């Protein structure tokens, strides 16, 4: 198994493709290219239809997957707001690649799992690994992820939502010679391949652990037997000035995903937005459906917390590897709200990745939503960096990593994030009035 990645800032589309393909071909050496992933900024929108032909002539990949992107990642660089193309390619001996495009009705979750197997053309016994790219305006990623977890519970699912467009029909999803403007494209990889997952949600916990004692859907009425809004008021009273100012803009709720954890740490929580507060009624609306008895904790997000979380999850993954050269390549799906906009310095996430995993080729893009697992289930995230790390299959494979380990972390100077470009969240009932 061998991976390579390259990026081009050339402003002529054909030149950019040729530069990327040439660099990747040189790194891979002679032989077939099993899979190529291309991410293209919207500056080249009029040339999307020529991507497959150009890559067929210059690289000849067996399968092409990709999408439009508001920013691209590859060759050790992260390019945002400027014209760029990135290409990641792999030679995968003894790996079967099954591409698919989904745009329409999905199987019922109450039905048999073999309906999902027929839809994707792969069986559970093959232990497939999934890479998914979806259009944020038309796809139903949360429904799809729930179905894939149901039908393929032991399989990794990693990916992101296409970005760069501000209205429906303008994003592009690349699948071999086809360019789609809706739905989801992806590949199922089976055979001699394992995809490890590392998900950095970029938050730190504040306040204490609480239990949901009254809720309905995504509405939380009581925490530890008192009004949910009262819990927020108490949280603010105990904060220092800096955290209080940050919480006004960047307060989230973390949900413990493993009910058997006695002392959950930062990475053991699924982080979700607070989408509405009703001070009079005392309710809080959260960007996730909850159940009574769940344990939750409030979280804050900023550049310092995000950097510390990323260091920790990658350090945890690094320490779990059987050998340092086990990983052949990686894909990074990072939120549009991260990058230089958050950290005030370029190539931040890829730089931390290199500190922990060395010269492993990593390519990807800045997404409108990131796909990755937390606590054994797959979710659509925001503000996250979600990694898929590829290695040959071997006994005792590494489980997906999402929880950071305790220890000293090298963090940048703190900066406060701003919201990413149109993050996709499911519709929620919000209380009135909102604050």
Mean pLDDT of 18-22: 97
Mean pLDDT of 233-245: 92
pLDDT of residue 174 exceeding 60: yes
Domain match, 267 and 185 both: no
**Residues whose CB is less than 8 angstroms from the CB of residue 71 and which lie 6 or more positions away in sequence, other chains included:** 41, 78, 79, 80, 81, 84, 163, 336, 339, 365, 366
Domain match, 85 and 190 both: yes
Domain ends where: 373, 391, 409? 391
Give me the residue label for tokens 């193309």. 85
**Where residue 376 falls among pLDDT bands split at 50, 70, 90?**
confident
Mean pLDDT of 70-98: 97
> Among candidates 69, 139, 131, which has minimal Cα distance to 335?
69
Mean pLDDT of 281-310: 93
Secondary structure of the chain as H, E, C letters: CEEEEEEECCCCHHHHHHHHHHHHHHHHCCCCEEEEEEEECHHHHHHHHHHHHHHHHHCCEEEEEEEECCEEEECCEEEECCCCEEEEEEECCCEEEEEEEECCCCCCCCCCCHHHHHHHCCCHHHCCEEEEEECCCCCCHHHHHHHHHHHCCCCCEEEEECCCCCCCCCCCEEECCEEECCCEEEEEEEECCEEEEEEECCCEECCCCEEEEEEECCEEEEECCEEHHHHHHHHHHCCCHHHHHHHHHHEEEEEECCCCCCCCCHHHEEEEEEEEEECCCCEEEECCCCCCCCEEEEEECCHHHHHHHHHHHHHHHHHHCCCCCCCCEEEEEEECCCHHHHHCCCCHHHHHHHHHHCCCCEEEEEECCEEEEECCEEEEECCCEEEEEEECCCCCCCCCECCCCCCCCCCCCCCCCCCCCCCCCCCCCCCCCCC
**Least confident span in 51-55, 77-81, 260-264:** 260-264
pLDDT tens digits along 256-277: 988 888 888 766 899 999 998 8
pLDDT of residue 1 exceeding 80: yes
> Among candidates 335, 14, 17, which has minimal Cα distance to 163?
335
pLDDT of residue 312 exceeding 70: yes
Domain match, 234 and 209 both: yes
Domain match, 173 and 123 both: yes
Cβ–Cβ under 8 Å, residues 174 and 65: yes
pLDDT of residue 173 exceeding 90: yes
Could you tell me if residue 404 is inside a domain? no
**CATH number for 294:** 2.40.30
* Share of residues in the chain with pLDDT > 70 (%): 90
**Least confident span in 94-98, 261-265, 384-388:** 261-265
The neighbouring-strand residues paired with 200 are 385
Cβ–Cβ under 8 Å, residues 195 and 400: no
Quote the pLDDT of residue 338.
94
Could you tell me if residue 401 is inside a domain? no
Give me the residue label for tokens 């819990």. 231
Provide the domain count of the chain.
2
Domain ends where: 277, 300, 323? 300
Instruction: Give me the domain span that covers residue 214.
Output: 204-300
Could you tell me if residue 428 is inside a domain? no
Domain match, 54 and 8 both: yes
**Residues whose CB is less than 8 angstroms from the CB of residue 427 and which lie 6 or more positions away in sequence, other chains included:** none
Quote the pLDDT of residue 172.
97
Could you tell me if residue 405 is inside a domain? no
Could you tell me if residue 91 is inside a domain? yes
Measured in degrees and rounded to the nearest 5, phi and psi for residue 114 equal -70, -15
> Among candidates 136, 123, 254, which has minimal Cα distance to 184?
136
Domain match, 215 and 277 both: yes
Could you tell me if residue 124 is inside a domain? yes
Domain match, 122 and 161 both: yes
Identify the sign of the CA torsion 219, 225, 229, 231: negative
CA–CA dist 3, 27 (Å, integer): 8
Quote the pLDDT of residue 394.
67
**Where residue 434 falls among pLDDT bands split at 50, 70, 90?**
very low
Mean pLDDT of 74-103: 97
Could you tell me if residue 385 is inside a domain? yes
pLDDT of residue 424 exceeding 70: no
First to last CA, the chain: 52
Domain match, 332 and 279 both: no
For 104, other C-beta atoms within 10 Å of its C-beta total 7
Domain match, 218 and 361 both: no
pLDDT tens digits along 286-296: 999 999 999 99
pLDDT of residue 422 exceeding 50: no
Domain match, 31 and 111 both: yes
* Share of residues in the chain with pLDDT > 90 (%): 77
pLDDT tens digits along 113-122: 999 999 999 9
Quote the pLDDT of residue 123.
95
- Locate 284 and state its tokens: 């809080």
pLDDT of residue 407 exceeding 80: no
Could you tell me if residue 411 is inside a domain? no
Domain match, 69 and 214 both: no
Mean pLDDT of 158-179: 96
Quote the pLDDT of residue 403.
39
Quote the pLDDT of residue 323.
74
pLDDT of residue 155 exceeding 90: yes
For the chain, the average pLDDT equals: 89
pLDDT of residue 419 exceeding 50: no
pLDDT of residue 168 exceeding 70: yes
Domain ends where: 275, 300, 325? 300
pLDDT of residue 9 exceeding 80: yes
Domain match, 90 and 172 both: yes
Mean pLDDT of 81-107: 96
CA–CA dist 51, 402 (Å, integer): 34
């Amino acid at each position: 198994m061998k991976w390579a990645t390259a990026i081009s800032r050339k402003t002529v589309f054909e030149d950019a493709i040729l530069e990327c393909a040439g660099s990747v071909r040189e790194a891979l050496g002679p032989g077939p290219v099993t899979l190529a992933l291309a991410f293209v900024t919207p500056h080249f929108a009029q040339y999307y239809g020529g991507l497959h032909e150009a890559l067929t002539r210059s690289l000849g990949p067996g399968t092409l997957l990709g999408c439009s992107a508001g920013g691209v990642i590859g060759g050790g660089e992260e390019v945002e707001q400027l014209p760029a193309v990135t290409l990641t390619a792999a030679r995968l001996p003894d790996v079967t690649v099954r591409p698919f495009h989904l745009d329409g009705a999905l199987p019922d979750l109450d039905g048999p799992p073999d309906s999902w197997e027929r839809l994707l053309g792969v069986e559970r016994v093959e232990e497939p690994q999934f890479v998914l790219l979806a259009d944020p305006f038309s796809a139903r990623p949360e429904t799809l992820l729930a179905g894939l977890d149901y039908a393929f519970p032991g399989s990794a699912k990693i990916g992101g939502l296409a970005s760069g467009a501000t209205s429906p029909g303008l994003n592009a999803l690349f699948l071999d010679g086809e360019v789609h403007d809706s739905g989801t494209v992806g590949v199922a990889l089976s055979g001699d391949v394992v995809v490890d997952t590392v998900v950095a949600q970029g938050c730190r916990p504040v306040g204490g652990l609480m239990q949901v004692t009254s809720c309905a859907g995504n509405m939380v009425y009581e925490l530890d037997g008192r009004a949910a809004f009262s819990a927020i008021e108490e949280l603010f009273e105990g904060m220092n000035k800096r955290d209080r100012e940050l919480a006004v803009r960047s307060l989230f709720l973390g949900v413990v995903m493993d009910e058997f954890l006695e002392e959950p740490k930062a990475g053991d929580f699924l982080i979700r937005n607070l989408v509405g507060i009703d001070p009079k009624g005392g309710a809080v609306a959260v960007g996730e459906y909850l159940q009574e008895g769940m344990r939750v904790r409030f979280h804050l997000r900023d550049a310092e917390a995000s950097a510390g979380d990323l260091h920790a999850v990658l350090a945890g993954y690094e320490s779990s590897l059987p050998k340092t050269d086990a990983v052949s390549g990686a894909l990074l799906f990072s939120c549009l709200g991260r990058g230089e906009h958050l950290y005030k310095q370029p190539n931040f996430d890829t730089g931390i990745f290199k500190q922990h995993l060395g010269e492993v080729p990593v390519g990807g893009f800045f997404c409108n939503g990131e796909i990755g697992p937390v606590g054994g289930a797959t979710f659509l995230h925001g503000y996250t960096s979600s990694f898929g790390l590829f290695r040959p299959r071997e006994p005792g494979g590494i489980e997906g990593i999402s929880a950071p380990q305790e220890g000293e972390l090298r963090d940048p100077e703190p900066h406060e994030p701003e919201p990413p470009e149109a993050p996709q969240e499911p519709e929620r009932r919000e209380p009135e009035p909102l604050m």
